[in-house]
């Protein structure tokens, strides 16, 4: 069986788990109570850092799952930050939904997987 590598592990979860050439990132959130743009940019910076630690980058994203606390009000603002960050020729399969996040101060949560 291939080895499993866990990065930035704590008692509840790891921020990244690598198995069989795939990096699975935990849901990332930004600075609480910041704007949707600021939270999205914070999250994308965290994703960049975790992917680098795993030995990959955003050009190798396979999937992205995005949760917004109010999709109707926040979708366009989050998309503007996302589209400025993601390389046009390397867009992953992506889905976006609305959910009640961990606290009312969080507006965006992003979960990605990437090939190594």
* Domain residue ranges in the chain: 4-115
CA angle (112, 24, 30) in 5-degree steps: 50
Mean pLDDT of 93-103: 96
- Say if residue 80's pLDDT is above 80: yes
Report the alpha-carbon distance of residue 116 to residue 31 in Å, rounded.
28
Query: Which residues are within 8 A (CB) of 59 and not within 5 positions of it... i.e. 6 or more apart?
Result: 87, 90
- Angle, alpha carbons 52-83-50 (nearest 5°): 15
- Give the pLDDT mean for 38-53: 98
For the chain, the average pLDDT equals 97
Average pLDDT for 84-103 = 96
Residue 113 bridge partners (DSSP): 24, 63
pLDDT for residue 2 is more than 90: no
Domain 4-115 belongs to what architecture?
A: 2-Layer Sandwich (3.30)
Tell me the mean pLDDT in the region 25-53.
97
């Amino acid at each position: 069986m291939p080895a499993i590598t866990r990065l930035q592990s704590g008692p509840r979860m790891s921020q990244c788990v690598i198995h069989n050439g795939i990096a699975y990132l935990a849901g990332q959130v930004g600075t609480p109570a910041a704007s949707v743009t600021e939270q999205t940019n914070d999250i994308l910076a965290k994703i960049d850092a975790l992917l680098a630690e795993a030995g990959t980058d955003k050009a190798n994203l396979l999937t992205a799952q995005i949760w917004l606390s109010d999709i109707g009000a926040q979708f366009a603002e989050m998309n503007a930050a996302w589209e400025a960050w993601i390389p046009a020729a390397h867009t992953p399969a992506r889905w976006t939904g609305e959910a009640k996040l961990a606290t009312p101060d969080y507006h965006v949560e992003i979960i990605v997987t990437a090939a190594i």
